[in-house]
């Protein structure tokens, strides 16, 4: 199994470019199935989650090919609406394919996406919304079967601003009859990106980025060429790694306001952040100071940056209190960090981090995508060699991190 070998203690310095957002590209690929015309999604990193989603589309008869980093999608010969378990278990967030498949075929079949390392990941909000639009949902033996004579718009209320459920209903509503209004919708930038993408295909969606999204059904959608939003979590991960090594870096292809909660916290940690158009400059402070975090739906602090910030807090002066409010078991990185000399106690959904001067290299294991990213941050700070196992978790969401960190001066190898 592939591993990362990191010899820590070097300040990260230099410049990199942020990729397109994994969590935007995935729903855009689902939306691309709603037209028979060619769709070009530009600057798509071939990370494992994107590869998994492309495999699902190909299984359903969609032609997908890379031209450089651009993904060309042609769904004109799409012939199936049944996602095999072997593929949906690889990518639980493929559940928002349900909305797209019902829009196109008035039918959809998928396996109940299993939980993962960060929580149960229920889809009750997705299914409740689809039922309100006229979808009959059968669940048995771990399979979900959806059928609808027609999709009709209406008022949908979410108990929680779920990102995936918001995207699923948008995809089910875009070709439905009448108006769908989603209340308490997720406000994440990737939801806004899906709105822009659908509108560039001739859809009529408004309000994304606020808690009320309105979708007026249209008869058909046409092809488009689209560059997704930057990956705010990838960019955030590199900024945190720079802070944890006392370095200074710049990242281009960013939209800083979309990660303002993180940038604010990094300033609390005494980093100096300057912005210039799409470039974020980070200069580490002389001492790293502790901070407190509550993960919240956007625009609150993003849960996908929690693990990386726990690693930064581990080498910051003082006590940091980090509470994970979104997922129920998203602290599996803590045990690994403590193996590297961190001093972290977890009680329910709160991590209490007592900062130490520096960590020491060790053999550790990635248990999930962002937990693996946290181990990279820790390894870059640590004295000595850190070996990170099970790095496929990291490669689900980060494009060639070994290369990008080497460009910033890290002693970082992939075996």
H-helix or E-strand spanning residue 280: strand 279-283
Print the binding letters for residues 334-353 with ligand EPZ: x by CB under 6 A, - otherwise: --------------------
Of 20, 43, 93, 180, the residue at the interface with ligand EPZ (CB under 6 A) is 93
**Comparing C-alpha atoms, which of 237, 272, 241 is closest to residue 410?**
241
Contacts of 167 (CB under 8 A, 6+ apart): 27, 30, 96, 99, 186, 190, 191, 194
Tokens of 363: 């053999």
Minimum distance, C-beta of residue 303 to ligand EPZ, in the bound complex (Å): 5
- Nearer CB in complex with ligand EPZ: 233/362: 233
Strands 70-74 and 63-67: antiparallel
Contact range with ligand EPZ by CB under 6 A, out of 6-14, 160-168, 203-211, 249-257: 160-168
Question: Of 33, 44, 116, 146, which one is the catalytic site residue?
Answer: 116
Q: Smallest Cα–Cα separation from 10: which of 251, 365, 353, 248?
A: 248
CA dihedral 31, 142, 150, 104 (to 10 degrees): 30
The rounded distance, in Å, linking the Cα atoms of 206 and 308 is 33
Closest distance to ligand EPZ from the beta carbon of 108 (Å): 16
State the minimum distance, in angstroms, from the CB of residue 346 to ligand EPZ. 17
Interface with ligand EPZ (CB under 6 A), residue total 25
From the list 309, 344, 343, 348, the residue with the least C-alpha distance to 327 is 348
> Could you tell me the smallest distance in angstroms from the CB atom of residue 200 to ligand EPZ?
20
172 in helix, strand or coil?
A: helix
Instruction: Identify which of residues 88 and 162 has a Cβ nearer to ligand EPZ in the complex.
Output: 162
CB distance 409 to 249 below 8 Å: no
Which of 43, 245, 303, 308 is in the footprint of ligand EPZ by CB under 6 A?
303
CB of 261 or CB of 382, closer to ligand EPZ: 261
**Please, what is the minimum distance in Å from the beta carbon of residue 172 to ligand EPZ?**
14
Applying CB under 6 A, does 115 fall inside the site for ligand EPZ?
Answer: no
Task: Look at residues 66, 69, 63, 100 and name the one whose alpha carbon lies nearest to residue 83.
Answer: 100
In the complex, minimum distance from the CB of residue 79 to ligand EPZ, in angstroms, rounded to a whole number: 25
Indicate whether 382 belongs to the interface with ligand EPZ (CB under 6 A).
Answer: no
Binding mask 11-50 for ligand EPZ (x = CB under 6 A): -----------xx--x------------------------
Q: Does 191 bind ligand EPZ (CB under 6 A)?
A: no
Judge whether 382 and 360 are in contact, CB under 8 Å: yes
- CA atoms of 195 and 103, how far apart (whole Å): 16
Known catalytic membership, residue 44: no
DSSP string, 33-96: GG-SS-EEE-S----HHHHHHHHHHHHTT-EEEEETTEEEEE-TT----B--HHHHTT-GGGGG
Q: Is 170 in the site for ligand EPZ (CB under 6 A)?
A: no
Position among 54, 97, 369, 391 found at the interface with ligand EPZ (CB under 6 A):
369
Stretch that binds ligand EPZ, among 123-131, 213-221, 308-316, 402-410 (CB under 6 A): 123-131
Q: Is the peptide bond before 299 cis (omega within 30 degrees of 0)?
A: yes
Q: Where along the sequence are the contacts to ligand EPZ (CB under 6 A)?
A: 22-23, 26, 93, 119-126, 160, 162-165, 186, 303-304, 326-327, 369-370, 397
Any idea which residues carry the catalytic annotation?
A: 116
């Amino acid at each position: 199994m592939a591993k990362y070998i990191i010899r820590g203690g070097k300040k990260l310095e230099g410049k990199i470019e942020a990729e397109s957002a994994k969590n935007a590209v995935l729903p855009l690929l689902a939306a691309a199935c709603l037209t028979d015309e060619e769709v070009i999604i530009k600057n798509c990193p071939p990370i494992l989650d994107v590869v998994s989603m492309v495999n699902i589309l190909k299984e359903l008869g969609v032609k997908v090919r890379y031209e450089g980093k651009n993904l060309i999608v042609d769904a004109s010969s799409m012939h199936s609406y049944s996602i095999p378990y072997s593929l949906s278990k690889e990518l639980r967030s493929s559940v928002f394919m349900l909305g797209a498949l019902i829009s196109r075929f008035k039918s959809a079949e998928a396996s109940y996406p299993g939980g993962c390392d960060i929580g149960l990941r229920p889809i009750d909000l997705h299914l409740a919304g689809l039922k309100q639009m006229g979808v009959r949902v059968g669940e048995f033996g771990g399979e979900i079967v959806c059928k609808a004579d027609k999709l009709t718009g209406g008022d949908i209320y979410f108990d929680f601003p779920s990102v995936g459920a918001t995207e699923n209903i948008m995809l089910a509503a875009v070709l439905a009859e009448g108006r769908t209004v989603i209340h308490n919708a997720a406000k994440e930038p990737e939801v806004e990106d899906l709105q822009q993408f659908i509108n560039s295909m001739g859809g009529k969606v408004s309000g994304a980025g606020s808690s009320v999204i309105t979708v007026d059904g249209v008869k058909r959608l046409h092809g488009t060429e689209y560059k997704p939003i930057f990956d705010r979590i990838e960019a955030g991960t590199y900024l945190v790694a720079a802070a944890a090594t006392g370095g200074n870096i710049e990242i281009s292809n960013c939209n800083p306001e979309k990660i303002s909660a993180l940038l604010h916290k990094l300033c609390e940690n005494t980093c100096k952040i300057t912005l210039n158009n799409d470039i974020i400059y980070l200069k580490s402070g002389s001492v790293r100071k502790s901070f407190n975090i509550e993960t919240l739906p956007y625009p609150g602090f993003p849960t996908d940056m929690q693990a990386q910030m726990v690693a930064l807090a581990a080498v910051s002066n003082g006590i940091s209190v980090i509470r994970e409010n979104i997922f129920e078991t998203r602290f599996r990185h803590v045990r690994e960090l403590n193996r590297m000399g961190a001093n972290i106690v977890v009680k329910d959904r709160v991590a209490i981090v007592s900062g130490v001067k520096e960590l020491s290299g060790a053999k550790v294991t990635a248990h999930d995508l962002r937990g693996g990213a946290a181990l990279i941050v820790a390894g870059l700070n640590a004295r000595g060699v850190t070996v990170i196992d099970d790095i496929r978790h990291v490669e689900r969401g980060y494009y060639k991190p070994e290369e990008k960190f080497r460009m910033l001066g890290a002693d970082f190898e992939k075996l």
